[in-house]
Structure 1
Amino acid sequence: MKRFFSVLIIISSLFVAQTVEAKSRLHVIEQTCEGLRDPLCIDTATPRLSWKLASTRQGDSQTAYEIEAASTIDLLLMGEPDLWRSGKVKSENSILVAYGGRQLRPRDMVYWRVRPYDVKGKPGDWSEIARFGVGFVDGAQMEGKYIALSRENAERRAPIFRKKINVKGDGTIIAYVNSLGYHELYVNGQKADQHVLQPAVSQLTKRSLIVGYDITSLLHAGENDIVVWAGQGWYKKTLFKNALEGPLVKVEIAQEQGDVWRPIASTDASWDAADSGYRDLGTWNAWQYFGEKVDGRILPATMNAADLDKMNFSKAIEIDVEGIEATPQMFPGNAIIAQLKPKTVEKRADGTWLVDIGRVITGWFQISMNGLEAGSEVRMDYADAIDEKGELISQDEYDIYIAAGRGEETFTNKFNHHAYRYVVVKGVEDIASVEGLQISGDYEQTSTFQCSDRDLNTVHDLIHYTIRCLMFSGYMVDCPHIERMGYGGDGNSSTLTVQTMYDALPTYKNWMQAWRDVIHPDGGLPHVAPEYRCGGGPYWNSFIIKAPWNTYLNYSDPSLLADTYDAMCRWLDFVKSHSTDGLLRPWPDTDYRAWYLGDWIAPQGIDVTDKASVDMVNNCCISECLDKMTAIATLLGKTSDSRRFEEWRRSLNDRIHSEFYHPEDSTYASRVPIDIAYALVAGVVPENLRQAVSDKLEKLSRGKYNSHIAVGLTGVPIFTEWAVDEHKADLMADILRQHDAPGYLYMVDHGATATWEYWTGRRSYVHNCFNGIGSWFYNALAGIRTNCPPTLYTLHSTLYTPTYTISPQLAKGIDWVKSTRETPYGQIAVEWHRTGTTATFDIEIPVGLKVAFSSQDVKRITHVDGKRHKADVQLLILHSGKHRITAELQ
């Protein structure tokens, strides 16, 4: 690859007005604790605090900070923090600052604020007051017992648990709910928060999750009505052999009383329990998620006391639960993010109704109906696609509603969800209204992208939307309906896309906890977490290494590296035990894992089962893992491990090259694109051969495959990474512009609103196979990348922090690009326009970040921030603020 970096120049724009300002322009715009906003139940008593900054001064930066923390807001406002006063700390760092105050205890609530000092040393204003609550850590246990519906009435039911409690005083009150199965909390008839399908997923043979709710504003002095509505969800014997007949619920309600927190209520056999009328229909094995059966004759109209008093309550029973650790949920939850009116509601000749929501969604269905006779049944069948005759392509998902016979009646899902676009409704004559309630993880979009090419925008938006449909409940699924599994292969394929487009840090923290919980004593891993026997291969298992590393790069949070390191090493020991003559060989199926795949679902004509390709892909995967483990061990101070991994990788790469390289045509293994691309990405190709091998891959892609995608699930992110690294934007743009199969626009032209499982359409029409291309729009066209090159390391505490570079690739046929991407410090914005042989780059850098700018498409930079640029420079270091770069193009 050509090297253009002749001179390094720093464009800091640190010149400031000479007039003395009375006040700093630097201010805090966002605060988080362990990556969460105002969490109520965290899993550590020594959390890390972060804040983002903004300033109207060009080149401003934080030179110091002060943090104050107190047990009440009033103490902070009075300037009397009783928990922590950091004093002025000289530091540019504003991320993951460790709490350093008084030792905290479970249930403690901490209120905190921060004040930054600007580049001139002037203090800014204090931030808004944020808070965090310490959960049950260091062996602390919630008070209360697990309770359930009586055994004779429990099977697949969704019980309502109820207790009236007396409240005295005016301190903050937090309810902690630990459920095996889903739950919703209601206080005096009002839902405690907006989240649904709580808690997140976990490996329920080992771990359940505790969710905290601030219910202070819903309570009043005297008697209050507390209700927990629970559903079986994942907690089933068909999935977890040690599961009891659930759902099971434990609740503790704690109140702030002076400087301590005291439990004032908890679950036991004194709570009332009743069947709500909801019943789960599925086993939740693949193809058996089915839906819910709701008896409107039993279902309470509201959670108000008057309606609950009509129900047939009896006493709950206490249940002993052993061997399952209850820990705080570090994921905010799921939310209804859109309420969609249908595109069409059509009554068909057979008396059924066909509802088209307009796009595929993950979520609930809500329908209001008139004129139903008591006891009559309404059936709703769901599908993500219809055939050419307008009939549903069945995915075995349906709901049943039994009418109460009382005026307008409404059905809404509660403890299950569907992935659907179309619904066939049978058994009703008069539909009053219909809505699709779209559910996703409660996380923020963190990037935007647009360019002058409409086709490329369409592909980007298709993937961006698909990710929304697939990421919820603290993990990411292959598809939300048929299997609903957290596959590591699908996860690896889309991690860079996901972490670019959304604030997914809490999702990966929760998901990696599940991966650590499923590792077997010999170091073997299933292909999904939570565990279920599914197909896959080493690439699927390697998620345990690749996901924490990418999470570190994208969010600058090293905690997953440290937390998962032991499991990573154990899995690599397992890999070594199945290696012969220096190469990994196929391992046998087990009762928790099947198959030994390389690539998966490649386009027609490419044999993903070819033995040479499978061996090539899997050994390159291990090489890639060893490369990351070398860096991870170095970052964690494990130098002997780092040397061991590096030596293993070097030896493995030599073996891969000698075993699979074809010198006569500069290809590898079965000569398909993934085999060649992975050799380049994993560093298998010797330096003196890289150009020839890369040229061969491009020639193959343009010639034999006619500028079409020629890889599957595993190959998409690998091919994308090669294309970004080797500046193949023209090739990638041409591949993405194809309207015939295999291609993304083929899906769109055939009605897709999300990416499919198969390139030509089959089985699932909202899937996580081919979304790895999404990172290309940001990494290549906008040029925003995060990495850890040795020459650009910056030291924070004892760990290196990832850096950002902006290196736009100006693909042919694209006149302009506009993109933003959020970082731990704030938003990077890039906009470029090309006119003839010149281009203008408008770039905005957040406070706290320095970014390297370069572009191989630039011949000469002529102006920087309005000033003529005379130096022969190809790399600029941009400090915070807005910058304009004008350049002549190659």
Structure 2
Amino acid sequence: MSPIQAVKLTCEYQSNPIGIGTPHPRFGWQMRTEERDAKQSAYRILVAENESSFALPVWDSGKVESDDSIQVVYGGAPLKPRARYFYKVKIWDGACRASEWSETGYFETALFSTDEWKAKWITPKEDELDKHAEPAFLLRKRFVLKDKPVSARVYSTAAGIYELEINGRQVTEDLFAPGWTSYHSRIQYQTYDVTSLLRTEGNCIGILLGDGWYRSGMGNAQRNFRYGDRRAALLQLHIRYADGTEEIVATDESWKAATGAIRYSTILHGETYDARLEQEDWSTFSYDDSLWLATEACELPMNVLVAQENESARVTETLKPIAAWVTPAGERVLDMGQNMVGRIRMTLDVPEGTEIVLSHAEVLDGEGNFYVDNLRSAKQTVRYIAKGRPGESYAPHFTFMGFRYVKVEGFPLGAEGLPLEAFVGEVIHTDMEPTGSFECSDERVNQLQRNIRWGQRGNFLDLPTDCPQRDERLGWTGDAQVFISTALFNYHGASFFAKWLHDLREEQMPDGGVPMVVPDVERSGVSAGWGDAAVICPWTVYQYYGDKRLLAEQYASMRKWVEYIRAQGDQEYLWNSGFHCGDWLALDAMPGSYVGATPLPFIATAYYAYSARILRDAAKVLDRKEDYIRYEALHRNVVHAFRREFVTEAGIVAYPTQTAYVLALAFDLLEEPMRPRVAKDLHELIVDNGYHLTTGFIGTPYLCTALSNHGYHATAVRLLLQDSYPGWLYSVSQGATTIWEHWDGIKPDGTFWSENMNSFNHYAYGAIGDWLYRKVAGLGMDETVPAYKRVRIEPLFGLESMSYARATFQSPYGEIESAWSLLDNNEMKVEVRIPPNATAEVVLRGAFLEEAREGGKRLHEGNGIHSIKATEKGIVLSIGSGRYEFSYPIGRTLKIPYSYDTRLDDALSTEAATAILKRELPQIFHIVDIIRTASFKQIVEFPLTQVSRERMDSVLEQLNSL
């Protein structure tokens, strides 16, 4: 067997997809080998119409001398619509050894043009069934096949949301299809293989049709019929026989309609289900539909139809309640143990007509009672009327709730109260593949990481929402852009964000303005930091996956946004006009305001520079030379204008807020000599505030990264580890299982920040995850090379609490791992895993060449290590793929009492101090950071590498003499 192999084949990010809408699909694979330093040198792809015809392929790439193994675009003859193709891959390594052919994968195309649709949009005939009727519609069609089919595919969608049955069986586990898009411009359709469900003797298709996002009142304004006032369905079934002939069954006026058990169902308010009204076997051929009503065609556009782009929403996990009790107010409540998004499934054995009501809430009030005030007008209520049969089971169809607690009314009680075994929580979200993990020695931080992931799961249900419980659940652009990097680390979100960004592009205004909500049911206006999602999000997807196609698709939108900014304000290079959300919910806001103290023009201009820089970089990637020159000049001019307006010649930022310093550092808006001063000012603001933050939605995501990148990692770690308000661990200390919207959503005395706007599942502040992965665990990327083709491993060892940290990430090339642990003998161990066909730079902070080892050997003896360089930081290595275990002593510990520190901090800001340190202690890479960030009110410990006590005393005396 060959020592290398092409594995994990993907087409359009999926394994064996059906229903892809592009005639030019992209392929990817991973290289498997046990050898270190493995690289692909060439590949060959074959695509054929069936598994036995690779000898006559529709595309043979030939042997391509390249290390490309992702985003490889099909280059053969035009593909047919509604056709399955098979493909396989052979690769060569750096020694020109060839692999065997990979296992065969396949993909299947969908419909490529509107002309291929033969179906009509249908709905119940208006004079027979009120188009505004609350009950869900049932639509059905009987048909007979002429023979046993060899294949059958359904292409279906709805103005509303739908479930599909054939011959009494559910076609799919997908939920809430076709998903929420900008329906006026784009409605997704789904493709399903239904071959195994069809029979020769007689068949029936059934469609269950609800309001969904299309007709429900959505958003703060509760606008009903935002997209249309009639539910409708569209379906086309293509049946292929062994003789090559085809038959189509499609929605038209011959279908019949009725209502059934779902009497009411909306996204925000819940569902009412009367099981006594179930139309049993309604989707079977033998069911008598003679009393059903007629349908009619309705005028809905066909040119908005697009093949489904993202993964479907599904039940991804089930949770059992951990407790049930009676509250002080006399309510019977279930505790699911986790703030989750989804639904409760009940299994019942109760008398006919028994009405059970489930109400859903995230938290209890200070007295332990069921609390729903923060839901505002959203009811989140399910009503079920039993049919009286043993073992009947029910979960709502067309709604979802955000909750941890469930109030149960009407359930017949036994001696033990509510039977826990009758209830199961079904967790629902877009079924993205988990890709990232993080853990460390501090269990509080591990809980924070779990909260970040649960917050993402709850809010990534078809689009990135701000909250999954109250009367909002909208795709806020600002939340999405600050969290996207963390999101893409946790889960594979390329398709998820591509779909949403296509909607953003459609919602963009003619002048280039980007609404704060996508899809924009709110008429939400434009704001800096929110509209910048148009630029930041496609660029971040490109960084994670090397997706040039999405970057090209969104490029015009990115450009329009930057030109929109240019047209604002009374100066071309400043954005100093218009409405902005600013540093939303920052703690330095004026009383009664949600907007932080950092001036709006400061934030707007900072984002102007940041988006111009990203647009410049995108133009370079896409080889748009004139645009690159144009936006390089624009970025430079905006940065200069920012400095003139907001930074003094001495390097003092005009507005002394944490967010102002953070943005100036994070967006590279300062001249190099000014950065240490501003970083020190930021550090001092944190220290003076008792190591607490005051930042909001804009400043918080970049806060710890700005500190770590500019020499204050210890400050960032201490800031993270505060479990008092305000900080990330405060909510953890209060028992949170998701990320809160407000730092003090629940106050220490049990009261609430607010009733008006207080979500307990609001992922934006979970953006701290990006810093945990990159800085604490040290797993990052070389941002000049996308998709983790060039990994950067540089753990920054925390000074408090943590003795180890570990992160893993399933990159397009395979799994990456970065882990460090401080052993009892003061030895540092750093474990690294780099996948084949990728390389890495590894920085071993504080290591010395003569003492560092890899796998017990000296570094120069290690296989796969390309270069070794000693620096002031430590050792910098360039390595190839494989597993590595580095170890080195980090030295003894020196205790510095308070008396040393009277003038030390001021001294360290001088060039003289820097000169002393470089001369006396060139090997102590982190000494400045450690002394700067030490708490001067207690004894401070920090590691030294091979420095005697006498030598250190001498250095400190020199520093104190300055």
Structure 1 and Structure 2 fold alike (TM over 0.5): yes
Partner Cα distance (2:700, 2:566) in 1: 27
Alpha-carbon displacement from aligned partner over 1:718-739 (angstroms, at most 9, x marks no partner): 2133134335332222112111
Q: Is the 8 A contact 1:809 1:857 kept in 2?
A: no
* 1:775 paired residue number: 770
Aligned length, in residue pairs? 843
Check if 1:733 corresponds to 2:680.
Answer: no
How far is 1:474 from its partner? Answer: 4.2
| Deviates most, 675-684 or 131-140 | 131-140
**SS in structure 2 of the partner of residue 93 of structure 1:** coil
Q: Deviations over 1:802-832 (max 9, x none)?
A: 6321111111132222221111111111222
Correspondent of 2:362 among 371, 381, 384: 384
Counterpart CA distance in 1 for 2:405 and 2:271 is 17
Deviation (angstroms), 1:886 = 2.8
1:186 pairs, out of 147, 165, 172, with 165
Specify the code of the residue in structure 1 equivalent to 2:841: A
**How many Å separate the matches in 1 of 2:245 and 2:607?**
50
Q: What CA distance in whole angstroms lies between the structure 1 residues aligned with 2:4 and 2:120?
A: 50
When residues 259 and 686 of structure 1 are mapped into structure 2, their CA distance, relative to the original with a 3 A threshold, is farther
Unaligned 5+ residue runs, structure 2?
218-222, 746-752, 861-867, 891-923, 925-962
What's the counterpart of residue 654 of structure 1? 640
Bigger RCO of structures 1 and 2 (CA < 8 A, at least 6 apart): 1
SS of equivalent to 2:215:
coil
The structural deviation recorded for 1:299 is 2.3
Counterpart in the other structure of 2:899: none
Deviation at 1:366, TM superposition (A): 1.6
Determine the C-alpha separation between the residues in 2 that align with 1:113 and 1:200.
32
1:583–1:60 Cα change, 3 Å: closer
1:885 paired with 2:886, answer yes
For 1:682-697, what aligned pairs fall within 5 Å after superposition? Answer: 682-697=667-682
Asked if residue 804 in structure 1 is aligned to residue 783 in structure 2, the reply is no
- Worse-matched range after superposition: 776-785 or 79-88: 79-88
Q: Give a deviation string over 1:38-67, Cα, whole Å, max 9, x none.
A: 221112101111111211122222222222
What does the per-residue CA deviation read over 1:590-632, in whole Å, with 9 as the maximum and x for residues that have no partner? xxxxx51111112366776367522211110111101101100
Measured in 1, the distance between the counterparts of 2:57 and 2:137 equals 43
Q: Which residue of 2 aligns with 1:707?
A: 691
Q: Check 1:479–1:727 CA distance in 2 against 1; reply closer, same or farther (3 A cut).
A: farther
Q: 1:841 aligns with which of 830, 854, 857?
A: 830
Tell whether the 8 Å contact from 1:254 to 1:265 is kept in structure 2 after alignment: yes
1:817/1:221 CA distance change after superposition, 3 Å:
same
1:235 maps onto 2:214 in alignment: yes
How far apart are residue 230 of structure 1 and its match?
A: 1.9
Counterpart-to-counterpart distance in 2, 1:380 and 1:297: 18
Contact in 2 for aligned 1:108/1:260 (Cα 8 Å): no
User: SS at the partner of 2:136?
Assistant: strand
Return the alpha-carbon distance in structure 1 between the equivalents of residues 702 and 526 of structure 2.
Answer: 17
Match of 1:136 in 2: 111
Equivalent residue in structure 2 for 1:561, among 527, 536, 551: 551
Q: Distance in 1 between matches of 2:200 and 2:286?
A: 22
- Equivalent position amino acid for 1:803 in 2: R
- Match of residue 443 from structure 1: 432
Equivalent residue, structure 1, for 2:381: 398
1:402-423: CA deviation from partner (whole Å, max 9, x where unpaired): 3434455443110111101111
Q: Is the 8 A contact 2:309 2:499 kept in 1?
A: yes
Q: Residues 268 and 325 from structure 1, CA distance in 2 versus in 1: closer, same or farther, beyond 3 angstroms?
A: same
Letter in 2 for 1:556: G
Tell me the equivalent position of 1:416.
399
Aligned to 1:438, the other structure's residue is in SS state: strand
More divergent stretch after superposition (157-166 vs 404-413): 404-413
For the 8 Å contact 1:251–1:266, the answer to whether it is kept is: yes
1:603–1:259: structure 2 CA closer, same or farther, 3 Å change rule? farther
Report what 2:31 is aligned to.
Answer: 53
* CA distance in 2 between partners of 1:784 and 1:81 (Å): 44
Q: 1:864 aligns with which of 841, 850, 854?
A: 854
The Cα RMSD (Å) is: 2.6
Cα distance in 2 for residues equivalent to 1:673 and 1:667? 13
- Output one character per residue of 1:6-52: Cα deviation in whole Å (capped at 9) or x when no partner: xxxxxxxxxxxxxxxxx312123312111122221112101111111
Distance 2:27 2:86 in 1: 12
Could you say which residue in structure 1 is the equivalent of 2:760? 765
Find out whether 1:578 has 2:585 as its counterpart: no
Letter of the 1:220 counterpart: R
Q: Does 1:325 align with 2:304?
A: yes
Instruction: Summarize the alignment of residues 38-187 of structure 1 with structure 2, pairs less than 5 Å apart.
Output: 38-73=16-51, 75-76=52-53, 79-151=54-126, 152-154=129-131, 155-167=133-145, 168-187=147-166
Q: Deviations over 1:87-133 (max 9, x none)?
A: 33322211111112231122121121212223333332322222212
CA distance in 2, matches of 1:616, 1:881: 46
Counterpart code for 1:675: A
Separation (CA, whole Å) in 2 of partners of 1:731 and 1:345: 43
Moved more, 470-479 or 37-46: 470-479
Normalising by the residue count of structure 1, what TM-score does the alignment of the two structures yield? 0.90
State whether structure 2 residue 489 is matched by structure 1 residue 500. Answer: yes
Return the index of the structure with the highest Cα Rg.
2
Q: How does 1:454-533 map to 2 (within 5 A)?
A: 454-533=443-522
The change in CA–CA distance for 1:712 and 1:351 in structure 2 (over 3 A counts) is closer
Q: Secondary structure at the match of 2:458?
A: helix
CA separation of 1:565 and 1:658: change in aligned 2, threshold 3 A: same
In 2, Cα distance between the equivalents of 1:187 and 1:504? 31
CA distance in 2, matches of 1:355, 1:688: 59
Bigger drift between 96-105 and 860-869 goes to 860-869
Counterpart of 2:536 in structure 1 is 546
1:837-871: CA deviations, max 9, x gaps? Answer: 54222211111111111144445472235431366
Secondary structure of residue in 1 paired with 2:798 = coil
Distance across 1 between alignment mates of 2:816 and 2:391? 51
Secondary structure of the 2:29 match is: strand
Q: C-alpha separation between the residues in 1 aligned to 2:44 and 2:245?
A: 27
For 1:602, which of 562, 572, 586 is the aligned residue?
586
Aligned partners of 2:489 and 2:809 also within 8 Å: yes
Compared CA separation, residues 538 and 605, structure 1 to 2 (3 A): closer
For 1:609 and 1:420, the matched residues in 2 are separated by 28
Farther-moved stretch of structure 1 (773-782 vs 866-875): 866-875
Give 2:356's aligned amino acid.
V
What is the letter of the counterpart of residue 365 of structure 2? D
Aligned to 1:17: none
Change (3 A) 1:81 1:261: farther
1:307: how far off? 9.5
User: Alpha-carbon deviation of 1:438?
Assistant: 0.6
Structure 1 position 742 matched with structure 2 position 732: no
Name the CA distance, whole Å, in 2 between partners of 1:409 and 1:246: 32
Change (3 A) 1:313 1:345: farther
- Structure 1 residues 123 and 193: CA distance shift in structure 2, 3 A: farther
TM superposition shift of 1:549: 0.4
Query: What per-residue deviation string (whole Å, max 9, x for no partner) do you get for residues 313-372 of structure 1?
Result: 323221120376100111120110111111122356887521111111110122234434
Match 2:256 to one of 240, 254, 272 = 272
Are 1:818 and 2:801 an aligned pair? no
Q: Hey, what's the Cα distance between the residues in 2 that align with 1:577 and 1:853? A: 44
Identity %: 24
**Conservation of the 8 A alpha-carbon contact between 2:316 and 2:428:** yes
Which structure: greater strand fraction? 1
Q: Distance in 2 between matches of 1:260 and 1:811?
A: 67
